[in-house]
Amino acid sequence: MEFLTRAVIRVPRSTPSEAVQDLIRAEAAVGHELRRQGHLLRIWRLPGAWANVTLWEARDATELHDLLTRLPLHPYMKIRVTPLAVHPLEADAS
């Protein structure tokens, strides 16, 4: 099933900027991996913020939790999860 998440990221200001850069690089690597696996379907930035909206494919909330906790920035994220049901408009089209 699909889930929509809205994540706001706050790395403590005291984190050395090199460590932040490492985190961002690691996050991108895991992000690409999750896209290849078909779990991370789409991702957008919320303008003006260090925050994103992401569309996920996961078997259930337990797998979604596993995917989200794989993200190196996960400890710095505040995440809101919206479970999504198939809409008849897309069901018709398949």
Phi first, then psi: what are they for 75, rounded to 5°? -60, -15
- Residues with Cβ within 8 Å of residue 54, at least 6 apart in sequence: 4, 5, 7, 40, 42, 43, 44
Is 43 one of the binding residues for its own copies (CB under 8 A)?
yes
- Footprint (CB under 8 A) of its own copies, residues 49-88: 49, 52-53, 55, 60-62, 64-65, 68-69, 74-75, 77-79, 81-88
Q: Under a CB-based contact definition with an 8 Å cutoff, are residues 76 and 88 in contact? A: no
Is 47 one of the binding residues for its own copies (CB under 8 A)?
yes
- Which residues are at the interface with its own copies (CB under 8 A)? 1-5, 7, 12-13, 28, 31-32, 35, 40, 42-49, 52-53, 55, 60-62, 64-65, 68-69, 74-75, 77-79, 81-90, 92-93
